[in-house]
């Protein structure tokens, strides 16, 4: 199996892929047309990326079966295009959660103690203890987390160690009071029903939402209107989740203090010029999208990438796959008990094809001794009686049939 790695990747990961029996092509500077050409010329089965955009043109160029995002999000990959072509897309959720949580707490401390300004004055030869002794402190201040996945949970653990009460809101909890109760009990937090309530009650708002069509621009002027003057605001998720113009206005009008690791318009490469009106404002601190960039996190992501590829190579299964249907569109299941002989399932499938029934999912379970098996075939409609009769009588190794209507 040929694996094309098109981004910077740990040596331990490259070694692990090779030890799994893969041919590894390491070309970390590919993008756009050069990525498409590499996929075309190598005919790689697996593509490993981090921040590289995987477009429909790249998907068309090669013979991919699997794309692994060596990180948490998959917003740089054309998921719909991959799904239309039957290409698995997988990621490494949770492996960088601790690293991002650590940076979140670092930004929070920097905002409270104005650490970057302290450093700037010292380097400029200015001693100003009087000015920088005005921190409010974190103990007892309420932290509000927009999003409560792996990263949000790690942030909550660290915030509680600082003595901060924690509010959480997430889309999956919004309409489920019992789920909110269970999360509150399990994680020692308070789960609220609306994002507006969280923002209105929090001294610190930290964003941990995945980027998708429902979250793009989620933190907008209407939501920020609920923030109290002087609220701390941190985003280590994705820049596009926040309406930058609305945040800029809130900084100017309400004195929000802001810590950002992500921006909507980041340079396409690891180095280069950067301009954003937000970072020029007083009280706004920024880092260079480095949330996941610790040695610990990158080694963990590399190990998980190797596990995904090895599992796919050895079993055909894909851990952490993100683009399979959540629920089969099948309406009926045909259960076929049969002798384990050549041609039995071919006969069944021929009859289903003749009836214009589409097989959505299928599994064939073998009994001990390999003399008999049961096939479970999910269909997009009920098989007619004539089709069932043709299946029963058309092959001597059919033992029994059952049709189950799916809920």
Q: Which of 336, 338, 342, 340 is nearest to 359 (CA)?
A: 336
Q: How many CB atoms lie within 10 A of CB 350?
A: 15
Cα Rg for the chain, rounded, in angstroms?
27
Could you tell me the CA-to-CA distances from 42 to 37, 48, 253 in Å, in that order?
A: 8, 14, 55
CA gap 361, 359 in Å, rounded:
6
Q: How far apart are the first and last CA of the chain?
A: 40
Give the contacts of 365 (CB within 8 A, at least 6 positions apart): 373, 374, 375, 376
Could you tell me the CA-to-CA distances from 16 to 10, 72, 185, 344 in Å, in that order?
A: 10, 20, 40, 41
Residues 71-77 have a mean pLDDT of 86
The C-alpha angle 48, 211, 27, rounded to 5 degrees, equals: 20
DSSP state of 241: G
The structure tokens listed for 338 are 């049969």
CA gap 41, 54 in Å, rounded:
16
Q: Which of 75, 90, 29, 70 is nearest to 313 (CA)?
A: 90
pLDDT for position 212: 85
For the beta sheet containing 143-146, the strands, ordered from the edge strand earlier in sequence to the opposite edge, are 190-191, 166-169, 143-146, 204-207, 232-235, 257-260, 284-286
pLDDT for position 290: 94
List of domains in the chain: 2-95+296-315 (3.40.50.720), 97-291 (3.40.50.720), 332-405 (3.30.70.260)
The structure tokens listed for 283 are 């009280």
User: Residue 74 pLDDT more than 80?
Assistant: yes
Q: Which of 124, 110, 88, 115 is nearest to 204 (CA)?
A: 110
Indicate if the alpha-carbon torsion angle 276, 280, 281, 284 is positive or negative.
Answer: positive
pLDDT for position 75: 84
Q: Which of 73, 54, 71, 70 is nearest to 62 (CA)?
A: 54
| Cα-to-chain-centroid distance, residue 272 | 27
Supply the angle between the helices 97-113 and 295-315 in degrees, to the nearest 10. 160
pTM of the model: 0.79
Contact between 29 and 50 (Cβ < 8 Å): no
- Three-state SS for 398? strand
- Three-state SS for 37? helix
Contact between 226 and 205 (Cβ < 8 Å): no
pLDDT for position 327: 76
The structure tokens listed for 65 are 């079966």
Kindly indicate the confidence band of residue 140, based on its pLDDT and cuts at 50, 70 and 90.
very high
DSSP state of 382: P
| Percentage, residues of the chain above pLDDT 90 | 89
Catalytically annotated residues? 238, 266, 289
- Three-state SS for 283? coil
Kindly indicate the confidence band of residue 383, based on its pLDDT and cuts at 50, 70 and 90.
very high
User: Residue 195 pLDDT more than 80?
Assistant: yes
Kindly indicate the confidence band of residue 148, based on its pLDDT and cuts at 50, 70 and 90.
very high
Residues 46-62 have a mean pLDDT of 93
Give the contacts of 94 (CB within 8 A, at least 6 positions apart): 72, 150
How are beta strands 143-146 and 166-169 bridged, if at all?
Answer: parallel
pLDDT for position 123: 97
Q: How many CB atoms lie within 10 A of CB 387?
A: 18
Could you tell me the CA-to-CA distances from 205 to 82, 155, 253, 353 in Å, in that order?
A: 35, 12, 17, 56
pLDDT for position 346: 96
pLDDT for position 326: 80
The structure tokens listed for 114 are 């104005």
């Amino acid at each position: 199996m040929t694996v094309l790695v098109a981004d910077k990747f740990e040596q331990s990961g490259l070694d692990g892929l090779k030890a799994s029996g893969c041919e590894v092509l390491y070309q970390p500077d590919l993008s756009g047309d050069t990525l498409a050409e590499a996929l075309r010329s190598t005919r790689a089965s697996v593509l490993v990326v981090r921040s590289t955009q995987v477009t429909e043109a790249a998907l068309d160029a090669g013979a991919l079966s699997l794309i692994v995002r060596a990180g948490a999000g998959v917003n740089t990959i054309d998921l719909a295009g991959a799904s239309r072509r039957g290409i698995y897309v997988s990621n490494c959720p949770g492996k960088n959660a601790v690293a991002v949580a650590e940076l979140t707490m670092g930004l929070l401390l920097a905002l409270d103690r104005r650490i970057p300004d302290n450093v700037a004055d010292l380097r400029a030869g200015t001693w100003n203890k009087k000015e920088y002794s005005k921190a409010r402190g974190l103990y007892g201040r309420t932290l509000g987390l927009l999003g409560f996945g792996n990263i949000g949970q790690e942030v909550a653990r660290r915030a509680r160690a600082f003595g901060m009460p924690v509010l959480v809101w997430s889309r999956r909890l919004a309409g489920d009071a019992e789920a909110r109760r269970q999360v509150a009990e399990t994680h020692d937090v308070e789960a609220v029903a609306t994002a507006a309530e969280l923002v209105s009650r929090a001294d610190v708002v930290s964003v941990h939402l995945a980027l998708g069509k429902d979250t793009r621009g989620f933190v907008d002027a209407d939501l920020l209107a609920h923030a109290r003057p002087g609220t701390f605001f941190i985003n280590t998720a994705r820049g596009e989740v926040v309406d930058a113009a609305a945040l800029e206005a809130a900084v100017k009008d309400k004195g929000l203090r802001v810590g950002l690791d992500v921006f909507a318009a980041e340079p396409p490469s690891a180095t280069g010029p950067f301009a954003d009106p937000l970072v020029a404002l007083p009280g706004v601190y920024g880092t260079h999208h480095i949330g996941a960039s610790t040695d610990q996190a990158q080694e963990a992501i590399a190990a998980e990438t190797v596990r995904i590829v090895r599992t796919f190579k050895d079993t055909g299964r894909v851990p952490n796959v993100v683009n399979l249907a959540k629920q089969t569109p099948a309406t009926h299941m045909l259960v076929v008990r049969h002798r384990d002989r050549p041609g039995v399932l071919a006969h069944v499938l021929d009859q289903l094809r003749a009836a214009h029934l589409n097989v959505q999912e299928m599994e064939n379970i073998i009994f001990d001794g390999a003399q008999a098996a049961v096939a479970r075939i999910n269909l997009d409609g009920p098989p007619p009686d004539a089709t069932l009769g043709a299946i029963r009588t058309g092959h001597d190794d059919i033992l029994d049939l059952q049709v189950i209507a799916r809920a």
